[in-house]
Chains A and B, each alone.
Chain A
Amino acid sequence: MTTTATDTEHLVHAVNVTKAFGSNEVLKGIDMTVDAKEVVCLLGPSGSGKTTFLRLINQMETLTGGRIWVGGELIGFEDRNGKLHVRKDKDIARQRARIGMVFQRFNLFPHMTALGNVIEAPVKVKRLPKADVTKEALELLDMVGLGDRARYYPSQLSGGQQQRVAIARALAMKPELLLFDEPTSALDPELVGEVLGVMRNLAEEGTTMIVVTHEMAFAREVADRVVFMDQGVVVEEGPPNEVLLNPQEERTKSFLRRVKHEAETEAAHDAELARILEEAAG
């Protein structure tokens, strides 16, 4: 296998990616491709390495081994005649600007309004005229349903609203690829739906997305492909209906059983609550 050749067929192409923190090997050789306009959901138990893999794509961590290409360009390193050289900070910043990222904890800039958060990077990184950027930013905020919250500070917004601003902020850079790192895990249950709704719309518009999530229903409905990871390796991947409904690997099966059991417990609680409420009302 040639690992030095650039790859322009796939938008994201990862080959034998390994990552170790000290002696702790978190990723043990991941191969993955993501094509343009594809939505891929990374599933797996916590500690399976799915978030680390996402962070490697955006160079929040440095690769230990393997290669990742995004848009045909090697991430983090430059290949000069078969010898790898670490890219300069400026070059890394340029590569990152092409990739949008949405975090579990939103990470909005608290000292800027929602609008300020969205226009910051286009104005300060791409150096686009502020008036044009503001107009587009307001449209983006409208799109995520927050047109009337443009001048609010993050602390004045609910978690779901903050996460939607964060999505608008990422979109403002017109990225080729959007990475979502458990975007609904820090939200109250009643706020999850509004964020998933925005993501569903993005998927329908043909945005390329890699989503680390625990939302099985979302993965099944929106993903073109799901990738199940466990203990640093890809266990199984394929169309959601195959992997989620008819898993082949034992580890996938046991994970799905656990998820199903949790969901059933929750559903039983909900049914019980509904019964009590109904009784009280009757």
Chain B
Amino acid sequence: MTTTTEARPAVSDDRPGLIHATPVRHPWRWVAIAVIVVLALMFLNMLIFNPAFNWPFVLEAMIQSPVIEGFWKGTILVTILAMLFGVILGVILAVMRLSDNPILRGVSWLYTWFFRAIPRYVLLVIMGQLGLLFAEGIALGVPFDWKIIEWLGLSGDWRIGPFDANAIFVGLAGGVIGLAASEAAYMAEIARAGILSVDRGQMEAAQALGMSRGKAMRRIVLPQAMRVIVPPTGNETIAMLKDTSLLIGIPVGTELFFQLQAIGNRTFQVFPILVAATLYYLIASSVLMVGQAYLERHFGRGFGVQVSADKEEADKGLAIGAAK
């Protein structure tokens, strides 16, 4: 057996040392760069010197108060609320779909089938006209109360209301209901895939500790499912942001694209208006992407690439713990 006193064997002429190799040449890479630079310059030239852009007008249109109001209420608020209700309803539908109860499974399937089939624009137009079904308004109370009262030989009614149906289905509320109803159908499938991605042993381990099915679902399965659910939900949110431009189907005018188009129609400045809308949607979806990245980090706890950072944190936590 040989022993070495140095950490590294000596380099000599007959033993290869450090590598100085010639890299592979990539001539086409340079050609591609040249083409792209030229195209980029052409595009930039158009942006700056084509009078149809009319940048000052773009900025002016963007800061008009109806446009800003339309952006916050019709685009941002409706996106947030529709996604919020859509995700909640979607998760409920997914849990129903995976339940032992055949009625719940059937209802969930039927819902998804129905709302995935209808285009969002058509659905929003229908929402706007739902008032026709409830011309007498909508009341809360005992179902079929008039029939029961008739049987019992009484008079009067057992209900609160009626409320004006148009107040519910028309306007931003109707938009939120319609978009959330449609979104829930898609979210149900996304959430179902997420729940199914969690190992069966997790549910078993949770139940073995005495958790009910519901608690095991909330505390153990869903948090792990979120890791799979969040990325496609980010996609859905950005799609929803864009679909708020369909609110005009209801019709709702308090919305970004409708307000910008109104300015364009009045001033005949068609193109700057489209640029303004594009900029708004770009900014909003960029902000959403940042939010998504945070969510992915949160629900990625204990998994994959996140682990090394967690470990540092854990070591730090322990160091602090030891210092106390």
Binding site for B on A (CB under 8 A): 58, 60, 89-90, 93-94, 96-101, 103, 105, 107-113, 120-121, 124-126, 148, 150-156, 169-170, 173, 281
Total A-B residue pairs with C-beta atoms closer than 8 Å?
93
Give complex CA distance A125, B211 in Å.
6
Is B251 an interface position by the 8 A CB rule? no
Contact of A155 with B307 at beta-carbon distance under 8 Å, contacts A110-B302, A111-B302, A112-B302 already known: yes
Across the interface, do A148 and B209 meet the contact criterion of CB distance under 8 Å? Answer: no
Contact of A109 with B311 at beta-carbon distance under 8 Å, contacts A120-B219, A121-B210, A151-B318 already known: no
- Closest Cβ–Cβ distance, residue A163 to chain B (whole Å): 12
Give complex CA distance A103, B202 in Å.
11
Contact of A93 among B1, B202, B210, B304 (CB under 8 A): B210
Give complex CA distance A96, B213 in Å.
12
Across the interface, do A111 and B204 meet the contact criterion of CB distance under 8 Å? Answer: no
Across the interface, do B303 and A96 meet the contact criterion of CB distance under 8 Å? Answer: no
Across the interface, do A173 and B209 meet the contact criterion of CB distance under 8 Å? Answer: yes
With both beta carbons as reference points, the residue of chain A lying nearest to B200 in the complex is identified as A107
Give complex CA distance A153, B158 in Å.
57
Interface centre among B199, B209, B210, B299 (most CB of A within 10 A): B209
Across the interface, do A121 and B204 meet the contact criterion of CB distance under 8 Å? Answer: no
Across the interface, do A111 and B310 meet the contact criterion of CB distance under 8 Å? Answer: no
Against A, the Cβ 8 Å flags (1 = close, 0 = not) of B192-225 are 0000000101101111111111010001100110
Chain B residues, Cβ within 8 Å of A173: 209-210
Interface residues of B in 169-209 (CB under 8 A from A): 199, 201-202, 204-209
Is B105 an interface position by the 8 A CB rule? no
Sample 13 A-B pairs with CB under 8 A, ordered by A number: A60-B204, A99-B208, A103-B204, A105-B201, A107-B205, A108-B205, A109-B202, A110-B302, A121-B209, A125-B211, A151-B321, A153-B302, A170-B208
Across the interface, do A60 and B310 meet the contact criterion of CB distance under 8 Å? Answer: no
Chain B residues, Cβ within 8 Å of A109: 202, 205-206, 220, 224
Across the interface, do A155 and B302 meet the contact criterion of CB distance under 8 Å? Answer: yes
Contact of A151 with B302 at beta-carbon distance under 8 Å, contacts A93-B207, A109-B202 already known: no
Give complex CA distance A210, B238 in Å.
53
Across the interface, do A154 and B318 meet the contact criterion of CB distance under 8 Å? Answer: no
Across the interface, do A107 and B224 meet the contact criterion of CB distance under 8 Å? Answer: no
- Closest Cβ–Cβ distance, residue A94 to chain B (whole Å): 7
Contact of A89 among B1, B212, B224, B310 (CB under 8 A): B212
Interface residues of B in 272-311 (CB under 8 A from A): 299, 301-304, 307, 310-311
Contact of A97 with B210 at beta-carbon distance under 8 Å, contacts A107-B202, A156-B310, A156-B311 already known: yes
Is B102 an interface position by the 8 A CB rule? no
Give complex CA distance A47, B3 in Å.
53
Is B314 an interface position by the 8 A CB rule? yes
Chain B residues, Cβ within 8 Å of A105: 201
Top 5 nearest A-B pairs by Cβ distance? Answer: A97-B210, A153-B302, A107-B205, A121-B209, A107-B201
Across the interface, do A113 and B204 meet the contact criterion of CB distance under 8 Å? Answer: no
